[in-house]
């Protein structure tokens, strides 16, 4: 669009020049009305081009601001348990149970995340069973709209799965439970925490806290890098 506007302006300017030159060269008498019309076209196209440019720059600024703020955030969590030798199974999704976890910042502010009453269990290998849960902010207004680098302050993940395991029929076993946490920001998977191990009995015993400060320390840079890769 900008190229077309430049071409139109160029044509108008050239036309004015040619008309003026011919007027002097061959003594043509050009009506002032034609000059006024051509000048009006030139001014209209010029103002339109300026308006479009300003509007485009404002839009770009708004997009940049939006890209640097939290519009949505989601936690995908997988808890693994070592089992006796069993057949690999398909993922079974169940409903009716809710689960809540929390992220804490360095100043001890808590942000709760909850599921939508769905979860799934799958025997992914002969000796490994997985519990999969998806969490959204309990109160989106606490996080949405904040700059993404705000998340750099997150340092602790807190959960309590003792009653949930019992209700869901998920046996955490006695060998500890590796936890995978994938963090999605604005629909982009930014952090993939793999095999964060909770020692034997920790998750089944009640509230547990995991240090995730290292993974969240540069989350804003990780997000920017992921966005750049998606654009190219």
Question: How confident is the model over 115-154, as pLDDT tens digits?
Answer: 999 999 999 999 999 999 999 999 999 999 999 999 999 9
**Do 113 and 19 fall within a single domain?**
no
**Do 145 and 197 fall within a single domain?**
yes
**Do 34 and 104 fall within a single domain?**
no
Task: Please check the confidence at residue 35 and state whether its pLDDT lies above 80.
Answer: no
Output phi, psi for 43, to 5 deg: -65, -40
Instruction: Supply the mean pLDDT for the chain.
Output: 83
**Do 16 and 87 fall within a single domain?**
no
**Do 170 and 200 fall within a single domain?**
yes
Alpha-carbon torsion (190, 191, 192, 198), positive or negative: negative
Q: Which of 35-39, 73-77, 157-161, 173-177 has the lowest mean pLDDT?
A: 35-39
- Confidence bin at 228 (pLDDT 50/70/90): confident
Instruction: Please say which residue of 44, 67, 90 terminates a domain.
Output: 67
Q: Can you tell me which residue has the tokens 């003026």?
A: 20
Task: Please check the confidence at residue 67 and state whether its pLDDT lies above 80.
Answer: no
Model pLDDT, residue 61 = 41
**Do 61 and 78 fall within a single domain?**
no
**Do 153 and 38 fall within a single domain?**
no
User: Residues 92, 113, 144, CA angle at the centre, nearest 5°?
Assistant: 125
114 contact partners, CB below 8 Å, separation of at least 6: 98, 99, 100, 135, 136, 138
To the nearest 10 degrees (0 to 180), the angle between helices 2-26 and 32-67 is 160
**What distance in Å separates the CA atoms of residue 202 and residue 170, rounded to the nearest whole number?**
14
Task: Please check the confidence at residue 28 and state whether its pLDDT lies above 60.
Answer: no
- Count the domains in the chain: 2
**Do 89 and 34 fall within a single domain?**
no
Give the global pTM.
0.71
Give the structural domain span for 143: 73-231
């Amino acid at each position: 669009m900008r190229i077309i506007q430049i071409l139109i302006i160029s044509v108008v300017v050239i036309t004015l020049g040619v008309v003026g030159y011919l007027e002097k060269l061959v003594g043509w008498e050009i009506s002032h009305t034609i000059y006024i019309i051509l000048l009006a076209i030139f001014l209209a196209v010029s103002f339109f081009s300026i308006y479009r440019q300003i509007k485009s720059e404002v839009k770009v600024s708004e997009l940049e601001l939006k890209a640097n703020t939290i519009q949505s955030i989601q936690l995908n969590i997988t808890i693994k348990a070592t089992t006796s030798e069993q057949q690999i199974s398909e993922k079974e999704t169940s409903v009716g149970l809710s689960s809540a976890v929390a992220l804490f910042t360095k100043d001890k502010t808590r942000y709760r995340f909850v599921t939508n009453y769905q979860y799934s269990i799958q025997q992914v290998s002969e000796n490994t069973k997985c519990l999969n849960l998806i969490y959204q902010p309990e109160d989106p207004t606490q996080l949405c709209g904040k700059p993404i680098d705000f998340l750099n302050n997150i340092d602790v993940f807190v959960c309590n799965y003792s009653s949930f395991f019992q209700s869901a029929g998920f046996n955490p076993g006695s060998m500890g439970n590796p936890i995978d946490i994938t963090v999605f920001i604005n629909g982009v998977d930014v952090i993939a925490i793999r095999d964060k191990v909770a020692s034997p009995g920790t998750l089944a015993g009640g509230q547990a806290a995991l240090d995730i400060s290292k993974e969240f320390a540069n989350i804003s840079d990780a997000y920017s890098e992921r966005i750049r890769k998606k654009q190219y």
